[in-house]
Each structure stands twice: as structure tokens, then as C-alpha cells.
Amino acid sequence: MLENWRLPWRHRAPTAASPVLLEHGAVPWLLAVAAATTLPHAEYLPVWLSLIVGVLLFGRAWLWLRNERLPGRWTLALIVFAGVAGIAWQYRALFGRDPGVALLVFFMALKPMEMKSRRDGMVIVMLGFFLLLTHYFNSEDIATGAWLLASATLLTAALLRIYGGAQPIFGVFRYAALLIAQALPFMFILFLLFPRVQGPLWGMPLDTYVGLTGLSDQMAPGFLDKLMLSDAVAFHVRFDAETPPQARLYWRGPTFDSYDGRAWRVSYSSLPQANNKRAVVEAREKTQENAGIDYTITLEAHNRRWLLALDMPISLPPETTLTPTFEVLANRPVRFRARYAFRSIPDYVANREETPRMLQQALTMSSRFNPQARALGESWRREFADPERISVAALRYFREEKFFYTLEPPALGQNAVDDFLFNTRRGFCEHYAGAYVVLMRAAGVPARVVTGYQGGESNPVDGTLTVRQSDAHAWAEIWLEGQGWVRVDPTAAVAPSRIERGGSAILTEGETLPILMRIDNDWLARLRHLRYRWEAVNNAWDQWVLGYNTERQRETLASLGMDDPDWQSMALAMLLAIAAALLSIAGWTLVRRGKLPAETRAWRRFCARLERFGIQRAPWEGPFDLAARAADENPRIAPLVRRASTHFAELRYGDGDRRHLRALRDCAKELASFVKGE
């Protein structure tokens, strides 16, 4: 049996009706499978469930070490009932993405407690393969892909160990890695040519998109600070030419023109179907710099319709709309990473002529809240007739009245704007933008709040600009007669470095920002170039692997000569490529078979001559089993067969040397003389 440890599939299946018991030495392999496939989920599961999973796996390992009996069926049934009830209570459901994954993890940890037969081991391996796919619900980065590849190798090795018996660990992993390597060409072919499917892989319900982060459809105190403390990537940008200065990088998102005294929202009058007026954007001056900036955005999924274009877009991608408030909307929510090409102009005139309805909406405010702010705005209206001078007065007020930019502002009362302007005077962009717009409306100047992102970090390795959630920003727009909508950023009056250098420039003592924003730290500065390289690799992964959607597939196949491919041509190309890969692997296998070790060639020569005596070695039969059978079927040559088997075993599995190889060859010659003697 020793010869065929490398070829476990050649063992004959047992004929007994009862299931084959699992070998004691195979249990650690299956426990390693359970741990590898469940461990990454610990970050997202409830703490109590992660503890139960750990206790179950540790307990099964302890029972294996002590060779103790497994728990009875009633005990396992109680554990199952308690675990399922706990998951139902935690998620308020048993169906859906999160409770479904929790159940899979729980059952994976519980299955080893009843693992007795080889069939139970097969169930764990198959469940492990399925559980690997669920890791992409939470993370799709390179580290996750590497972990899944290593786990798939472990699962394959465990399968070989279950059906192959006791084998050297290194040999099992080497053979499993070889099988995985042989599958890689087919994986690449399917990835390249299989039609892209828009939608979740398993057709999960809407909670597939739960947890997608980004801007909201309303702005209230404390809305942006959660985003500004996150270093998650919002989108990547690649400019066709030089990257514009940091101060010009305003990425426009939702525009809020309705305020009820508590929160800012998008009004009905700003939506495309409610206003037939077309958004009109033109360059302020027809210069080469203002002719247009071309760029491509790779936008992370955020489950909203708005896109993030550089203010102000003049050319849009297909299936998008520019609203009267200059917000770019896709035809459907962005639920998957997507690429969009835009053209924008940095110095623009927007809607020089505006509808009375839009202007009236930009002046509306509640009379029940913020009386002090309304009184201050009305005083400016009486003092300054010119709207531009009113805006200058408001910015001067922010600059001279000792306002502070902070990411940890104190709580505000019912009259939030009054409390901010006259009491706390501490806040960040959403506080300044919202207060500025309230002052402008009180002074009779049409104004609204714009949210989006400002700035970004340029990567010198691949030239892309990375905009993170921590770059979330809010600014204001006022409408001036003859000039249209003009951008005003009140934050620049208080913390101009926030606009010119990014969020880390305004970090005050005692406050924390995401670690990727703290670029002034000495220890991080020394690793900055390494971080840039890693982010460039991640961006390439996002672009070519995770972002390989229908459009990217069409572009790639067009570059390979398949112009406008349909599913029939793609299926034919896929079949031909798979056939070519199969032929290549078969040819490689035949070449390897022609380069067998010397001891294997000598042993096969001996076995071939042994067939002349009516003794044919079975594919699964080891050398000592063959010698025992030869002793029963032909005692005359039994000593010779036993001697040849001993020499081959020493060469193959022991410390045999060239003397054993010569002796094995001599046995083959001696067996040939037996044949001639007959």
C-alpha cells in the first residue's frame, strides 16, 4: 500500500454496506479546514457567536487529543436549538445574507462534533468550499483572495488525506497545490470569457447591499463626521492629463435645497422630472486650461444613484442625467464597482438664468427655528444691498469671530444654527456650510448646500488619485444675478489648509483621524512609498479583477480581436480555450510520465515480466501486498518477488542507494531467466 500514497484516487472503494470510519489522523485536517473557513468571519459576527464557534472547535480538538467519546445526539440537538434561536434573535430573521452566513459558520463549527465517518469528512470539505465564497460578502481585497486560495489548497489537501490514508504532510500539500495549479488556466479562461452577470452571485435579497457606505440623501448634525473618520475608498480617479491642484478638486454629490430647521434634504423641485429646465453650464473664459478636463472615475458601490463628478461636468457617461442642481444621476443605483468617463471645466458659469421656482426654493426656511441667525442675516440685508457684499460679510464673520474647525464638536440644541453661531463656534464643514446658507437665505440671497468630496491623495506610483470617505465635504452655492450659481466654501474662511492640503492639515491636538490621513507622522512617512506601491497594486486589482464588468470585458475582448462579441462567440471561444488548456496539461502529463525515477522504471519492468506468470499488479497494490499475493499464486517465484519488493520499498520510501537499484534490476533479469527456463 505504500507505493500509491501519491495517487489516493486509485484505492478501491470498500464494498461494505456500513460507512467507512474516519481515520483518527484525518481529524486535525478537518478541524483546520473548519478554522480556516470560519476565522475571517469573526470580525463581522456577533461576539457571542464567535466565542461559541471557538469553543466548539477547541472542544473537538481536545476530545481528539484525549481520544474521548463525542457528545450524544440529544446534546447536539440542544446546542443546535440554542444556536439557531440565538441567531434568529440577533438578526431578527433566519433568511438573508447575514443570518445565512452566521448559520453556515455555526454549522461548520458544530459538524466536527458528530464527525465519525469518511462521509462526514466529505460534508465538512464541501461545506468549507461553499463557505469560502461568503467571505467576498465582506471584503474583496487582495488579502482576502490570497486567504481563499490558501484555504482552497488546504481543503483539497484534506480531501486527499481523507481518501489517501496516512501520508507525509509536505507531500499532501504539494499534490494539492499541483491540482490547484492545474485548475488556474481554466479559472483564467472562465474569468476572461464567461459573460459578466450584473447582480449578486446568489440572487440574494436586498440586504446584499447593506453596509455600503457613502453620502446620504440628507444632511443633519453629525452626518459627515462618521464618514470623515473612515479611511474606506470612495473612488479612484485617473486624469488623462495633469492632475488639477488640490484646491480645485471638488467632487459634486447630492445638493440640498430644503431645510426644515433640523436637516437638509433634496427637494422635489430639484429632481429632473419636476423641472423641465435644462442645466446650462459654460466656461467662464474659453482658455486652453478651461477647455475641459478629461478623467475616468472608478466608483465604489454606495447603493445610490448619484455619481461624483468634478465640479462642473459638461460631458456625461451614457445612461446618466444632469439634474437642474448639477447633480449627476445614474439610471439605477450604483450597487457594484463601476467606471465612468467625464469631462469637466474648473471655471464655469452655471444657470445664469434660473427659474423662479428654483430661486424661491433656495430662499425658503422655517420661521420656527434659529431666530438669532435670521436676525443677523436680515441686518446684513439692510446694511448691504449687494448679495456679494452680504456673502463677504458672512465669511468675514466666520474668520474674525474665533470659530474653530474640529471633528469633535459639542452637541447642539434645538436651534442648531444659533447654537453653533453664537455659543459653541466649533464644528466642521457641514456646520459651516449649513450656517452660511441659513444666513444667506435670511439676507434674501438664494443659497443651497452641496455635499460631496474635496481633494484626494495622488499616488506617484500609478498616477491615480484616491478619494476616501475621510475626504467627505460640504460647501455652499449662492445665486447671483448675471453670474448664476457660484460656489462658496465657508470652511476655507476658517481652515483654508483643509481645502489646500487635505483633512490631516487641520488635525487639532487630542483628535484622531484615520491612520492613512496622518501622513505627517514620521514613522508613516518612512513607509509612505511602500504604501503607495501597495495601493497601486490594490487599485490594479480593483480595476482588472473586481472591476471586470460587462464594459471592461467588452473592451478586453475587442483588444483581442473579438469586436462586439455575443454570447455565442464567447461560448465558442471559451470551449476552444478550455480544449487547448486540456491538451496542454495532457501533453505535460505525458512528458512527465516519460521521466519516471529510475527505481520506478525498474519496478515496472519487473512487474511487466511478472505478468508472464499470470500475476498482474493492481493499480492500487503496494509492493508488499504484491509479494504476499505472489506467494499464494506461485510459490516458486515468491522469494524473488519478496526480494524485489524489499529493494523497491527501500528505494522509494527508505534510505536505499544504488546497490538496491542494481539488486532490483538483477531481480528483473533473474525473473526473465525463469521465463526462459520454462
Would you state the cell numbers that stand for residue 300, as one nine-digit string? 465604489
**Residue 426 exposed, middle or buried by CB count within 10 Å (0-12, 13-18, 19+):** middle
Beta bridge partners of 478: 447, 486
CB-hemisphere CA count at 13 Å for 91?
21
Look-up of cell digits 501519491: 6
Contacts of 523 (CB under 8 A, 6+ apart): none
Would you state the cell numbers that stand for residue 532, as one nine-digit string? 503607495
Spatial distance between the Cα atoms of 215 and 224, rounded to a whole number of angstroms = 8
List the one residue out of 346, 352, 353, 326 whose CA is nearest residue 285: 346
Q: Which one of the listed residues 473, 542, 647, 660 is annotated catalytic?
A: 473
429 catalytic per annotation: yes
Output the CA angle 309-310-315, nearest 5 degrees: 65
647 catalytic per annotation: no
Cβ proximity of 298 and 542 under 8 Å: yes
Cβ proximity of 237 and 456 under 8 Å: yes
Would you state the cell numbers that stand for residue 302, as one nine-digit string? 454606495
- Alpha carbon dihedral 307, 313, 317, 320, in 10-degree steps, equals 60
Pairing state between β 426-427 and 447-454? unpaired
Q: Which one of the listed residues 225, 311, 489, 542 is annotated catalytic?
A: 489
607 catalytic per annotation: no
Q: Which one of the listed residues 302, 311, 418, 429 is annotated catalytic?
A: 429
What does the H/E/C string look like for 467-511? EEHHHEEEEEEEEECCCEEEEECCHHHHCHHHHHHCHHHHCCCCC
List the one residue out of 283, 238, 170 whose CA is nearest residue 539: 238
Spatial distance between the Cα atoms of 290 and 260, rounded to a whole number of angstroms = 38
Q: ω before 126 within 30° of 0 (cis)?
A: no
Spatial distance between the Cα atoms of 470 and 473, rounded to a whole number of angstroms = 9
Distance from chain centroid for Cα 250: 27
Catalytic residues: 429, 473, 489
